[in-house]
Chain A
Amino acid sequence: MSESYAVLLVAVPILGSIVPLAGSLWHDRLGWPVAVGVSLAHLALAAGLAVEVFAAGTVVYELGGFEPPFGIVLVVDGISALVALLVGVVSAGVLAYARRAGPRGNSFYSLYLLLLAGLSGMTVTGDAFNLYVFLEITGLAAYALVATGDHGGAAVAALKYLIIGTVGASLYLLGVGYAFVATGTLNMADLAEKLAAVGYTSPLVLASFALVTVGFAVKVALFPLHTWQPDAYAEAPISVSVLISALVSTVAAYALARLVLSVYTVEFFAAVPTARTMLVGAAAISVVAGSVLAVSQTDIQRMLAYSSVSQFGLIVAAVGIANRAALVGAVVHLVGHAVMKGGLFATAGVVERTTGARSVDEYAGLAERAPLAAGCFAVLALAMVGVPPAVGFVGKWYIVVGAVEAQRWAVAAVLVVSTLLTLAYFARLVERMYFTEPAVDVGEPAGGVPTVPDGGRSVSTGMVAVVVAATVLAATLGFAASGIEALLEPTLAALGVI
């Protein structure tokens, strides 16, 4: 019974995504209730799956009854169960936010459910080509969601995202092609065995690893392949920014980790140390470059986008280090970053609606005008910097411990420096919010920034609740880290991680 949870996790949102569009024939406000129903069902399935996986071990579902390695399998282990649960929780939260914040209309909710299906599929699949299909479903839904912004800039950002994202996904497909030519299989578990048999130093295997990682680096938005991300996050409607900043890159980073650990395995890294060095090196560059770019931004949403480039550098570096502490850190930071970044975007949306502030300078004196939002923003920002005991601290702590254990001192140094760099762009904001007098012209933003009539559009209880919930989670989730470590123990052991 519980095996079918895995397939329902994907099937329920896909079927659900048809309902709002078809329902438009009769009723044009059907989207939200349908999305809530489907999203809660999805969350229940993800929770059931997590309970099953942590009680009884990995769940495997054979699609259509075809035996692996010939058929497609869905495989849910500890890491994928946690990511599926994260997808369920965050997407349900976004619904509470989007009811008032918009975008309205049935088509938005259809796209939302399609994105949910794509993300769930990427999380549970155990087949390399199936992953490509879900990657593209996620991508298509995300491009269309970005384009739901009500000015032309959203369409330009979405097209840029589409072209760069497609090249990334195509590179991944080419990488899968190389692996397929080398082994004749697409099943991840089977690939792992046959790639080892072909020999890790075979040019085909090396080329496939390079193409797969570069393809996913585009989707995760590592420097210098991140160029689609700031435009997409800044131009999309705020609910969409919350959704994609919290989930799309997160699940892509999970998929990269899954491929590195389950398909190429840690033995590949042992046999080809250059591959590991290049992956970790690229991630470390991304950490520094993302932070530097974030410091130089004036727009809050762009600053948060560049901050993601830096934080995902940390996660990919941890995947490259691939020892136990680093991987626990990667998972904790993956979950923590989703909560914190989604929460920061949600808070930025609330701030924009109540005060019209969009830029770093307009945040001056925010603590007086919007005390709750300013407080939440400050807590989330400090959690992201890594102030103990917040989840941001715990994730980075594990990753640094992993880097030290692996004796990668340069990486450990970059990670520690990254905390200072994160402080550089968040501290100036906190300082402005609390200790700077607002400039005279605040409240009447310059042209281009949408002006807010009548002293602000309304902010619903749901929006505030989401912001507060994210803040509380960011502050307290860190205490769950040792529990997460214990839960991941069997999974990491099965992956051969020392």
Chain B
Amino acid sequence: MTAVVDLLLTRYNYVAVVLLLGIGVYMIGASENLVKKVIGMNVFQTGIFLFFMTSAFVTGGHVPIIKEGVERYVSPLPHVLILTAIVVGVSLTAVALALIVRIYAEYGTLQEDVLREIQTDE
């Protein structure tokens, strides 16, 4: 019990990472709505972003600009990586939404199960 409390108090970021990843995958798999699947994809990626951010945290670390009297600097690399990954994520979301607009124009639905029925009927 104390181990769980300890985990929640000191490692809550990692708990949040696991929750975000789990919720994201669940939304992608369980939701029939295409937009919700894309939201799930975004939640999943956010979990990964949070993982990188958390790993980059240094207690008492300073901004990585050389200054006198500062000993501990934070590595800027993870932040730059995630900045890139966010850009990638935005592009993916844009393409996904464009495809969804086209699917809706063609079939008039965003529900995957309805879509499957229409496609088998064709």
State the A residues within 8 Å of B (CB): 129, 132-133, 136, 139-140, 143-144, 147, 151-153, 155-156, 158-159, 162-163, 166-167, 170, 173-174, 177, 180-181, 184, 186, 447-448
Contacts and interface: CB of A to CB of B under 8 A. Distances in A.
A177 B51 contact: yes
B92 A166 contact: yes
A143 B95 CA distance: 8
B122 A159 contact: no
Contact of B25 (A139, A162, A167): A167
Given A156-B115, A180-B78, A163 B96 contact: yes
A152 B102 contact: yes
A152 B102 CA distance: 7
Interface in B7-47: 25, 28, 34, 37-38, 41, 44-45
B118 to A, nearest CB: 9
Contact of B119 (A144, A153, A180): A153
A136 B88 contact: yes
Interface of B: 25, 28, 34, 37-38, 41, 44-45, 48, 51-52, 55, 75, 77-78, 81, 84-85, 88, 91-92, 95-96, 99-100, 102-103, 106-107, 115, 119, 122
A139 to B, nearest CB: 8
9 contacts: A129-B84, A133-B84, A140-B92, A155-B103, A159-B100, A167-B41, A173-B85, A177-B48, A447-B122
A95 to B, nearest CB: 24
Contact of A140 (B45, B95, B107, B122): B95
B75 A184 contact: yes
B28 A147 contact: no
Main SS at interface, chain A = helix
A107 B88 CA distance: 20
A132 to B, nearest CB: 8
A173 B85 CA distance: 9
A153 to B, nearest CB: 6
Contacts of B99: 143, 147, 155, 158-159, 162
A280 B65 CA distance: 47
A463 to B, nearest CB: 28
Contacts of B84: 129, 133
Contacts of A147: 99, 102
B92 A136 contact: yes
B51 A174 contact: yes
Given A143-B99, A155-B106, A163-B37, 20 more contacts: A133-B84, A140-B92, A140-B95, A147-B99, A151-B106, A152-B106, A158-B99, A159-B96, A162-B92, A167-B28, A167-B41, A167-B44, A173-B48, A177-B48, A177-B51, A177-B52, A177-B55, A181-B55, A184-B75, A448-B122
A140 B85 CA distance: 13
A177 B21 CA distance: 14
Closest 10 CB pairs of A and B: A152-B106, A155-B102, A159-B99, A136-B88, A181-B55, A155-B103, A155-B99, A174-B48, A448-B122, A162-B96
Contacts of B106: 151-152, 155
B85 to A, nearest CB: 6
A132 B85 CA distance: 9
Given A159-B34, A170-B48, A152 B92 contact: no
Nearest to A147: B99
Contacts of A184: 75
Contacts of B78: 180
A152 B100 CA distance: 10
Contacts of A174: 48, 51
A143 B48 CA distance: 22
Contacts of A166: 41, 45, 92
A170 B44 contact: yes
Nearest to B28: A163
A233 B107 CA distance: 21
Contacts of B100: 159
B74 to A, nearest CB: 13
A55 B87 CA distance: 40
A144 to B, nearest CB: 6
B34 A133 contact: no
A181 B56 CA distance: 9
A156 B119 contact: yes
